[in-house]
Amino acid sequence: MPHYGGRLAAVTAALAMSVTTGAISPAFATNQHGADERHTDKNPTATGYGGAVSTVDPEASAAAIDVLRHGGNAVDAAVAAAATLGVTEPYSAGIGGGGYFVYYDAKSGKVSTIDGRETAPAGITHDAFIDPATGKPYPFTPELVTSGVSVGVPGTPATWERALERWGKFSLKKALEPAIEVADRGFVVDETFRSQTADNQKRFEAFTSTKDLYLHNGKLPEVGSVFKNPDLADTYRLLADKGMDAFYDGALAKEIAKTVQNPPKSPDTKLPVSKGSMTEEDLEHYKALDQDPTHVNYRGYDVYGMAPSSSGGTTVGESLNILDVFNLPSLKADQPAVLHHYLEASALAFADRAKYVGDPAFVKVPTEALTDPIFGKERACELDPMHAAIKPLKTAGDVTSYDGTCPVKPAALADEKDTENISTTNMTVSDKWGNVVEYTLTIEQTGGSGMVVPGRGFLLNNELTDFSTVYDPADPNRIEPVKRPRSSMSPTILLEDGKPFLALGSPGGSTIITTVLQTLVNRIDLGMSIPDAIAAPRASQRNTKAVTAEPAFIDKYGAALTSRFAHTLTPSGDSFSSASEIGAATAIEFLGDGRTLAAAEPVRRGGGSAMVVKPSK
């Protein structure tokens, strides 16, 4: 294997010196030596030349930088980072999941995208989420998410292959080398990895394969220990040698289908672990889709995002079109007023998302109307600059008849129940040629379905829980065979005069949309630097009765938003952990002097990792 960054030999030697005992799994090693050879330091900002990267993990960022330094471009680096995240952030990403890839090509000046969203198996039924014993939907957690029926056909491997075919300089084999190295030598366990394992302990104990990998002898990995995944390293080697056909057709495909149809249940688990219907043929027929991005113009910036099956591009775009009607920069001294507009615009766009957005192969999605500035102007008629509307809003905009004037004649609103989970990951990459990648990928729930494919080292997703739980023929996000569930992933690239200005994205389920939107409002309308725009406390209004807000947001803005604008705020948090954070953004801003500024979270998810090829002061 070619040498990357001079680390492998040193790490191997260091590992030979480290002390292990027979009681320690091959996945764990005491970190007495060799930690200095691993990437553990997290710097949330970096400025310089020659290319940049921002991810949630220093090993993934280092993999991308190594690729850039060895002649790879942004696409090669993004695939290398994504594969490494499959090792170090396995509960958020990996080859058992899917995602959306947005690419700016410096030579053509064009933005393109790949839809690598998972699909439902051909054999899925409309009542797949209904417990036959009770006739009622399975409880969402842990029963529904921890099951074969929740697993969609993975799209991440096909996305990597397609991106490299279209725009990469490296082969898949070369792009996977850094991740193989990390999987072999291991990475240092941090508090986030341990706490996520603890949060999922009951689910992981339900499967023999998962327990063996992540809970050796029933114990959680210790902070500071080294976690190795030789099975995943071997799986990556298989894909490197044979290509992605080895994932979608062959022995591995058979093992994935078997895991879904007959989950490797532990004999003592009390979870029902329903069986899924995915077959080898479902895997063989999967395709990552080339498609055009969404596009709106916001205060002179061309904003490109992900079209359906993601709702990110349409909902962020519509929100910006609504906000563009108001002169928010003139209000930047009054931050609560600007945030009020942001929250109300988001609620309006989410009402339209619920009514209209699903997989365009099954639903006629009015993408052009939803991103039309005239439609946005008409929806802005519903935004009261002085008072929050009562929510949830009962009506959606009429995409069949609009002219930008008030009053609006609303259409009926389809009810929306948010089942998207917060665990996803995002990366932003640029190279010395000016190409840019914004890539969001996920396995859905923290820990996905909880099922590791035996002997293969990766978790399968539970993305099908993004479908509406109860089948409704009028619901654009209803369950259908071979359909892609609606997503909120919102990888976004902004151009100014045809050149990159800013690229950003985030994990966070349906709060991805609001995280990206609020970061743009912070940066463009409130004039914050991009590091400050990312670090600022967040709130999310998704057409719900109350605004979900981080405690710091409530402390800073709650009184004003409540007393002046009649908002109701509730602290953020989720049912799977004690986390109160909203999102974990990454971004790169392109400075006027030729430098790039990479920015990641300073605190959320333990902080992110920003790096550049050639640092500058």
Residue 508: the pLDDT is 86
- Fold designation for 1-312+423-617: Glutamine Phosphoribosylpyrophosphate, subunit 1, domain 1 (3.60.20)
Using the Cα atoms of residue 334, residue 340, residue 341 and residue 342 in order, give the sign of their dihedral: positive
Residue 407 CB contacts under 8 Å (≥ 6 apart), including other chains? 381
Among candidate residues 83, 54, 80, the one with its CA nearest the CA of residue 67 = 80
Residue 409: the pLDDT is 58
pLDDT (mean) for 343-366 = 97
| pLDDT over 80 (residue 34) | no
Specify the residue for token string 């349409």.
314
| pLDDT over 80 (residue 31) | no
Among candidate residues 392, 388, 397, the one with its CA nearest the CA of residue 319 = 397
| pLDDT over 90 (residue 496) | yes
**Bridge partner residues of 47 (DSSP):** 597
DSSP 524: I
| pLDDT over 50 (residue 576) | no
Among candidate residues 608, 229, 213, the one with its CA nearest the CA of residue 447 = 213
1-23 pLDDT, tens digit per residue, is 333 333 333 333 332 333 222 23
Residue 417: the pLDDT is 53
Residue 285 CB contacts under 8 Å (≥ 6 apart), including other chains? 122, 482
255-294 pLDDT, tens digit per residue, is 999 999 999 999 999 999 999 999 999 999 999 999 999 9
Rounded CA-CA distance 126/254 in Å is 25
| pLDDT over 80 (residue 24) | no
Identify the band that residue 533 occupies on the pLDDT scale cut at 50, 70 and 90.
very high
**Bridge partner residues of 549 (DSSP):** 539, 571
145-201 pLDDT, tens digit per residue, is 999 999 999 999 999 999 999 999 999 999 999 999 999 999 999 999 999 999 999
Radius of gyration for the alpha carbons in the chain, expressed in angstroms and rounded: 23
- Whole-number Cα distances in Å, 151 to 109, 119, 162, 426: 37, 9, 22, 21
Beta strands in 354-422, from DSSP E residues, in sequence order:
395-396, 411-412
The residue extents of the domains of the chain are 1-312+423-617
pLDDT (mean) for 404-425 = 64
Residue 19: the pLDDT is 26
pLDDT (mean) for 413-436 = 76
Residue 137: the pLDDT is 86
Residue 20: the pLDDT is 28
Residue 410: the pLDDT is 60
Residue 131: the pLDDT is 83
Residue 16 CB contacts under 8 Å (≥ 6 apart), including other chains? none
Query: What DSSP line would sit under 230-278, residue for residue?
Result: HHHHHHHHHHHHH-THHHHSSHHHHHHHHHHHS--B-TT--S-------
Identify the band that residue 141 occupies on the pLDDT scale cut at 50, 70 and 90.
confident
Decide if 303 contacts 297 (C-beta within 8 A). yes
**Bridge partner residues of 428 (DSSP):** 54, 438
Strands 289-291 and 294-298 come out as unpaired
Q: Which residues are catalytic?
A: 424
φ/ψ of residue 123, rounded to 5: -95, 5
| pLDDT over 60 (residue 566) | yes
**Bridge partner residues of 446 (DSSP):** none
Rounded CA-CA distance 447/568 in Å is 32
375-394 pLDDT, tens digit per residue, is 999 999 999 999 999 999 98
Residue 14: the pLDDT is 33
Specify the residue for token string 């970061």.
519
Residue 165 CB contacts under 8 Å (≥ 6 apart), including other chains? none
64-115 pLDDT, tens digit per residue, is 999 999 999 999 999 999 999 999 999 999 999 999 999 999 999 999 999 9
- Whole-number Cα distances in Å, 587 to 132, 184, 515, 601: 46, 29, 12, 9
